[in-house]
Amino acid sequence: MGNKEKLVEETIKRQVEAVRQTIEALEPVICTAEKGDWVELRAASDKVSDLEGKADTIHREGMVLISSGAFFAGIREDILNLMEQLDDVADSAKDAARVIAQFPVSKPTYESVFSGDSPIQLVKKAEEAMDVLSESIELVMQRPHEAARKAIDVEKKEEEGDDIKNRIVGRVLSKKGEMDVLTLLELKDFVLWLDNVLDDIEDASDVIIVIAAKSGV
């Protein structure tokens, strides 16, 4: 690879790390919601937004580098798509944090809905999937076959997350007679945005498989 291509590769690595930090910042959001500390929750949500902004800045840097002449024979559009998908991951994490911080939910209501499966399980699963995606990105230029195998493992994490999401959403809907519509919709949307984080990570892994295939898998 030329110098510009190497710079893009380093930029993607920085973007991956920034996205990972954005996902991890969801944990304090959920912990403060569990405690019913809605002032601290909003501060934790703002932290997620700040980290998403950092990831977005790195994404734009990568776009500028690619548009200024980084070639990436045969996979230029795929590299662009990968960075877009990573940006979507951070966006979904930010939206999940904003949803739960927008309107206070009473602690008893929160506990009754999430007394079984907790939203933190979805965040942990997203962290696991992001770790696997990061490994596949590291490998894709040098060992595309291994990268593709890792990327396929991301789908397994996403499917496990789907099972958690379905159980939690079912629990939310089972409480519809015990809470107002606004609260029900807020909690449901929160869970769905957390699930979107996993979906976006899987979409990024699909791009890795395409790049690996073009690289000779």
Taking alpha carbons only, the member of 59, 81, 91, 42 closest to residue 194 is 91
Give pLDDT tens digits for 39-76. 999 999 999 999 999 999 999 999 998 888 766 778 88
Cβ distance 20 to 134 under 8 Å? yes
Assessment of whether the complete model's pTM goes beyond 0.75: yes
Taking alpha carbons only, the member of 59, 52, 68 closest to residue 12 is 59
Ordered structural domains, the chain, with CATH: 3-214 (1.20.58.220)
First-residue to last-residue Cα distance in the chain = 19
What's the token pair of residue 124? 């942990």
Taking alpha carbons only, the member of 120, 112, 123, 140 closest to residue 89 is 123
Q: How far is CA 138 from the centre of its chain?
A: 18
The rounded average pLDDT for each run of 10 residues, N- to C-terminus, in the chain (217 residues) is 82 97 97 92 97 98 84 84 97 97 89 90 97 95 91 95 96 90 94 98 96 80
Cβ distance 110 to 36 under 8 Å? yes
DSSP-derived 3-state class of residue 217: coil
pLDDT of residue 115: 84
**Residue ranges in 102-143 assigned as alpha helix (H):** 107-113, 119-139
> Residue 90 to residues 24, 193, 197: CA-CA distances in angstroms?
11, 11, 8
